[in-house]
Structure 1
Amino acid sequence: MEFGRVSQETLDSVDFKLPPDNAETLKLLQAHKRNVPTEIFIGCAKWGRKDWVGKIYPKGTKEGDFLNHYARHFNSIELNATFYRIPTFAQTNGWKSKVGKDFRFCPKFTDQISHIRRLKETQKQVDQFLEGISGFGDNLGPVFLMPHPGMGPKTIDTIEAFVKSLPKDIKLFIELRHAQWFADAEASKAVFSMLEENNVGTIITDASGRRDCVHMRLTTPEAFIRFVGNGLHPTDYMRVDDWVQRIKTWMENGAQAIYFFMHQHEEIHSPELCKYVIEQVNMHCHTNIPVPQFIGNDPLFV
C-alpha cells in the first residue's frame, strides 16, 4: 500500500500518537454494551506472497495452497483482490473451502463501482459483486467501500443513496480519504451522523502521511482499522502498542468486534508485525488468539 507513504528520514518527526476518541465514540459503544466477549479478527491484506514461503509457508508450498497455510496463522484477511476484479461465486466458494469455520473474508468493493462509476448507476455491478462474494457463506465478514478519493463532502448524498440501496444484511464499512471530510467540522459531523443512522461502520486508516484519517470516530459498535507500517521501523511497534491500549479501552466500553488489518509499503514484513499485534492484544486484552508460527532460524521468525 502506497497510501500515506513518507520518506524513512522523516518518520521520526511524525506525531504517531493516537488522538483522543471522538466524544460520540464512547457514547455509542456504551449504548450498545453487551455482556459478551469482543470478537477480534487480525490479519494481513493478501495471502498470495511467494516471499512468505520459508517464512510462514513451508518450503515447496504451491501457490494454490497458500491460503490453506495463511488460514492456519491468521483468522481473517482484508481482501483487496476484489477491488481489481469481481470474483465469481465459484472462486469465493473455493476460497471458503480452504479455511476454518471461524475465518473471515473482508472483501473490498470493486473499483468499477467505487472509482470508475463513483457509486452512480451501479446496480448491475453491485448485483454481480454481491453474487460473487455470496460464495463465502458464513465466512463472509464485513464488506468495505472506499469511495473515490476525489469524492468529498459535496458527494454525501451520492454516498448515502448508495448505502441505502444495499441489502440490509450486508455489514458495511466505509473508508473516507478526501481531506475535506476531516478538515471541515460540519462535513465531518454530517457524514459520520449519516453513517451511524444507516448502521454503517467507519474505517480508521493509520498511515504515516495522512494523520487526518486517524479520526477515532466509530459509527457502529465495531471497529475496522487499516494499519500501514514502515518496514518494521521502530515506530511501527510503538504505534501498535498505542493501538492495543485503545482497543483495550474500546473492549472495556462495549466494542462488539474489532477488525485489525496489517499493511506495509513492502508487504513482505506484514506477518512479523501482525504476529506482534496478536501477542500484544493477547497480553493486554486477555484474549487467546492463536499466534502465527514462523519457519526457519532467523531470530525475527522465532
Structure 2
Amino acid sequence: MDFGKVRHPEEINFELPPASPATQLVLTRLTSATYLKPKIYLGCPTWANKDWLGTYYPAGLPAKDFLHYYSQQFNTIELNTTHYRIPDQTTVAKWCGAVTPEFKFCPKWPKQISHEQELLHVESATDAFCTALLHFKENLGVSFLQLPPGFGPNQLNILEKFLTDLPRAIPLAIELRHPDWFSDPIAFEELSAVLEACEVSTVITDVAGRRNVLHQRLTTATAFIRFNGYLHNTTDYARADAWLEQLTTWMEQGLQTLYFFVHYEEIIHSPKLIRYMLEKLATVSGLPPEGAMPIPQPVQGSLFD
C-alpha cells in the first residue's frame, strides 16, 4: 500500500488513538440478544504471491492454483482486481469454485465509479458491479469503496445519494482520504450519521504517514481494517498487540464481524503477523487459530534412500 508511505517509519508514533465513544453506542444498539461470538476474517491483498512458493504454497505450484491454496491459508481476501475491471459471471464462478464455502471475497469498487466519476452519473456501472457482486453469493464479504483524496465534506450530499440508492443486499464499507473529514469533527459526525442510516461500515486504515485516517469510529457492527506493516520487527507486533486489545474490547461490546487485512511491501511477512494475531484472537473468540502456516513440502530423495 503506497498510501501513507514514509521514508522513515521508525520515526512514526504508531500509538492507536482512543476509540470514539459513539462506537460503543453503535455496537450496543446493534448487538442482537442472540449474539454469541464474532466472525473473524484475516487476510492479505492478493493471492498471486510467488514469494510464498515453497512455504505457504507448494513449490512449483502453477499460478492458476494459487487462489485455491490461498484459501487454505486464509479465510478472506482484499480483492483489488475489481478496482480495474468488473468481473463477468464466469470469472466470479471460477474464483468461488477455487475457495472453501466459508471464504469471503471483499471486492474493491471500480475506479470508474469512485475516482473517475466520483459517484456522479454512475448508475449503469453501479448496476453492473452490484450484479457482479451478487454472483459471489455466500462467498461475498464486504465490498469496499475507496474515495479519492480530493473527495471532501462538501460532497457529502453526493455520497449520501449514492448510498441511499444502493441496494441493501450489497455489504459496503467506505474508505475516505480527504484530510478535512478528520480535521472537522462536525463533518465527520455528519458523515458517520449518513453511514449509520445507510448501514454502511467505515474503513479504518493504519498507515505510517496518515495517522488521521485511523479514526476508530464504527458505524455498523462490522470492523474493516487495513493494516500496513513496515519494520518486520517488534514495532509491528506491538502495533498488532494494540489492535488486539482494541478488537477484544469491541468484541466485548458487541462487534459481530471483523475483517483485518495485512499489507507488507514484502508479502512474505504478512502471514507471520496474521498467524500471530490468529493465535491471540483464539483466546477471546474460541476459534482455533487455523491457517497462515508454512505447509510441508515434498523432500527430494537422495542416493542413500
Partner of 1:282: 282
Partner of 1:161: 161
CA positional deviation for 1:132: 2.2
Amino acid at match of 1:144: F
Residues 221 and 170 of structure 1: is their aligned pair in 2 closer, same or farther, counting only changes over 3 Å? same
Amino acid at match of 2:21: A
Partner of 2:19: 21
Partner of 1:92: 92
Q: SS in structure 2 opposite 1:205?
A: strand
CA positional deviation for 1:258: 0.7
Q: Which one has a bigger Cα radius of gyration?
A: 2
Give the distance between the partners of 1:128 and 1:63, measured in 2 at CA.
28
- Does the alignment pair 1:37 with 2:16? no
Q: Which runs of 5+ in 1 are unaligned?
A: 298-302
Deviation larger for 264-273 or 94-103? 264-273
Give the distance between the partners of 2:284 and 2:237, measured in 1 at CA.
15
Give the distance between the partners of 1:287 and 1:239, measured in 2 at CA.
22
Amino acid at match of 1:37: K
CA positional deviation for 1:153: 0.5
Give the distance between the partners of 1:188 and 1:70, measured in 2 at CA.
37
CA positional deviation for 1:296: 7.1
Identity %: 41
Partner of 1:192: 192
Deviation larger for 111-120 or 258-267? 258-267
Contact 1:96–1:135, Cα closer than 8 Å, also in 2:
no
Give the distance between the partners of 1:207 and 1:216, measured in 2 at CA.
13
Give the distance between the partners of 1:281 and 1:247, measured in 2 at CA.
9
Amino acid at match of 1:218: L
- Does the alignment pair 1:248 with 2:223? no
RMSD: 1.5
Contact 1:48–1:67, Cα closer than 8 Å, also in 2:
yes
Partner of 1:300: none
The equivalences for 1:184-263 within 5 A come to 184-263=184-263
Contact 2:282–2:288, Cα closer than 8 Å, also in 1:
yes
Partner of 2:47: 47
- TM-score under structure 2 normalisation? 0.93
Give the distance between the partners of 2:85 and 2:3, measured in 1 at CA.
20
Residues 132 and 285 of structure 1: is their aligned pair in 2 closer, same or farther, counting only changes over 3 Å? closer
Q: Which runs of 5+ in 2 are unaligned?
A: 298-305
Contact 2:130–2:170, Cα closer than 8 Å, also in 1:
no
Q: Give a deviation string over 1:76-104, Cα, whole Å, max 9, x none.
A: 11111111111111101110001111110
Equivalent residues, number = 295
CA positional deviation for 1:33: 2.3
Deviation larger for 238-247 or 288-297? 288-297
